[in-house]
Amino acid sequence: MKNLINNNNFEKLKQNFLIFKNNKNLIYLDNAATSQKPDIVIKSLVDFYEKHNSNIHRSIYDLGEVATDLYENARQAIANFINAKYEEIVFTSGTTEGINFVADSWGKENIFSGDQILITQVEHHANFLPWQRLAQEKGAELKFLNLDKSNFLLKNLSQEDLDKLINSKTKIVALTLDSNVLGNIWPDDLLERIIEKAHSVGAKVLLDAAQAVAHKKIDVEILKPDFLVFSGHKMFGPTGIGVLYIKKDLHKNLRPYQLGGSMVYSVFCDKPAIYRDAPNKFEAGTQPIAQAIGLKSAIDFTNQNINFDELKKYEASLTSYLIDKLNLIPECQILGNIDMLKKEGHLVTFYIKNIHAHDLSAFLSKNNIATRSGNHCAQPLFELLSVESSLRVSFSFYNTHEDVDLFLDALKEAIIFFEKN
Ligand code: PLP
């Protein structure tokens, strides 16, 4: 095993994860599905239930006020993390709910017959199905930014192409920042040009940061989306919590997604209710209180321990090391832009000819190696690539070059086994 980049800091951080103490030989290579949780995140959940459990925004007693403060401090920490304003952060159950929220509340009021919705051919089902249904229901058209199959990047577009694609009929452009299958799919500056063009015709922009948020700095002042979504569980936080950033300008006219609880000032029998201001009007019912507090802990952990530039270099070194070794396996076909992945990747998706990825994943599991197989909730992409299924290895800072070596040894054993049987 060659430790190409000896990153002692990241290796030390692994000691903060009880899961690796409780599963001594676990090689966890499924971080794109969900990340592991540092002990302080788990402790913050236990602490909340042991010391502060009560409902928020409605309890006129000390316990409830402390719980409310903890929840609202979490909102502020998340706002700071992505350089947003406090009131622009809405808690959801995850990326999926965030996108459904926008498609349902903004979409139903702003998309009409003949309008266009633009997404890419590589979207996760979460950023595909809500737009497809909305388009069908409204008689709108779902359009795609096409993937260049020769290099696994979105086709670069001239200004003329862009002007044709994004026009007065375009009402929303909903794009993933990072594909959960291919990694980065953006040629230099295309994303920036698309966002600028969309805004110039009055279209809104939604960015799916589910994969990106644990690997790169997200700054809404730089990216300039109208909506941005991510999930806590992919960035070292608990499940059941996600973030929907809604640009302040949109708050006044945006219909709440769900109704109920204390998101209103006044409710009447004979006239419409008066909603509270954002973010409260967008959070109906009892909020995911412990989960938001847990997500704040994950963000504190990230702020204290992770420098995103160093992380990118480290994860790219693991990715590059894995790609070089996979390239020596003749039956292996990598899906993704190799140059881009080697420079800034954190995952590698591939298939081995004539062996089903589920079989490989099950074989690897016998060696305590966790990978993801299948179509990764991106069936339209797999249809486009004419690939049935694939295996994905996805990294976080607690992975090492030794993990990659052990994975490769087991993969080679699996290939020999399945070729014989
Ligand atoms: N978008 C992308 C790019 C993803 O990778 C995922 C999950 O893998 C999602 C959306 C959906 O996230 P969640 O299941 O946490 O809602």
Please indicate whether residue 4 or residue 138 has the higher confidence score (pLDDT). 138
Q: Give a yes or no: residue 108 inside a domain.
A: yes
Confidence category of residue 9, pLDDT binned at 50, 70, 90: confident
Same domain, 214 and 361: no
Of 142, 273, 377, 387, which residue is the catalytic one? 377
* pLDDT 10s digits, 308-365: 999 999 999 999 999 999 999 999 999 999 999 999 999 999 999 999 999 999 999 9
Confidence category of residue 81, pLDDT binned at 50, 70, 90: very high
Q: Give a yes or no: residue 38 inside a domain.
A: no
Please state whether the peptide bond connecting residue 279 to the residue before it is cis, i.e. omega within 30 degrees of 0: yes
Structural domain of 249: 44-303
Q: Is 231 in the pocket of ligand 1 (CB under 6 A)?
A: yes
Q: Is 180 in the pocket of ligand 1 (CB under 6 A)?
A: yes
From 303, 328, 356, the end of a domain falls on: 303
* pLDDT 10s digits, 364-398: 999 999 999 999 999 999 999 999 999 999 999 99
For residue 3, pLDDT over 70 is answered with no
CATH assignment of the domain containing 14: 3.90.1150.10
* pLDDT 10s digits, 277-288: 999 999 999 999
Same domain, 284 and 219: yes
User: Are residues 290 and 373 in contact, defined by beta-carbon separation less than 8 angstroms?
Assistant: no
Q: Is 269 a catalytic residue?
A: no
Same domain, 219 and 368: no
**Residue among 132, 142, 127 at smallest CA distance from 96:** 127
Name which of 5-14, 45-54, 252-261 the model is least confident about: 5-14
Does the reported pTM lie above 0.75? Answer: yes
Task: Check the CA dihedral 71-72-73-79 and report its sign.
Answer: positive
Residue 204 bridge partners (DSSP): 172
Q: Per-residue pLDDT averaged across 141-163, rounded?
A: 97
33 CA: nearest ligand 1 atom: 8
Ligand 1 centre distance from Cα of residue 210 (Å): 5
Same domain, 240 and 164: yes
126 CA: nearest ligand 1 atom: 10
Please tell me the total count of domains within the chain.
Answer: 2
From 274, 303, 332, the end of a domain falls on: 303
Neighbouring CB atoms inside 10 A of 129's CB total 16
Same domain, 258 and 364: no
95 CA: nearest ligand 1 atom: 16
Q: Give a yes or no: residue 93 inside a domain.
A: yes
Q: Give a yes or no: residue 373 inside a domain.
A: yes
Mean residue pLDDT across the chain:
96
Same domain, 361 and 280: no
Same domain, 97 and 228: yes
pLDDT for position 1: 41
CA of residue 418 relative to chain centroid, distance: 34
Same domain, 161 and 139: yes
Q: Is 126 in the pocket of ligand 1 (CB under 6 A)?
A: yes
Confidence category of residue 8, pLDDT binned at 50, 70, 90: low
For residue 4, pLDDT over 50 is answered with no
Q: Give a yes or no: residue 92 inside a domain.
A: yes
CATH assignment of the domain containing 120: 3.40.640.10
Confidence category of residue 59, pLDDT binned at 50, 70, 90: confident
From 280, 303, 326, the end of a domain falls on: 303
Ligand 1 centre distance from Cα of residue 253 (Å): 27
Ligand 1 centre distance from Cα of residue 4 (Å): 31
- For 406, the token pair is 């052990």
Ligand 1 centre distance from Cα of residue 122 (Å): 12
180 CA: nearest ligand 1 atom: 5
